[in-house]
Amino acid sequence: MKKQIVNAVSGETTLVDFTAEEITQANTDKESSEAQAQANYEARENKETLKDSAKAKLIAGEKLTEDEANTIVL
């Protein structure tokens, strides 16, 4: 991997190889970002499942769980 360094005074650009530490950090950041995206997706899916369950129970006249009740916005 390479990074571009721009000299603000002269406008000269230089391509430099990443150091081993920078490559490791970039890979760690990418994995962390992907894990966070997956966690966000799962949280949204879980909330939607709870909302759907709460709606079905309300229609059927059944008791809601506390989590289902918390998803209802009045």
Say if residue 73's pLDDT is above 80: no
What pLDDT band is residue 6 in, cutting at 50, 70 and 90? Answer: very high
pTM: 0.64
pLDDT of residue 74: 57
Domain span at residue 49 reads 2-71
Q: Which of 12, 22, 16 is nearest to 4 (CA)?
A: 16
pLDDT of residue 70: 86
What is the total count of domains within the chain? 1
Span 32-71, pLDDT tens digits: 999 999 999 999 999 999 999 999 998 999 999 988 888 8
* Other residues' Cβ atoms within 10 Å of the Cβ of residue 47: 13
pLDDT of residue 1: 87
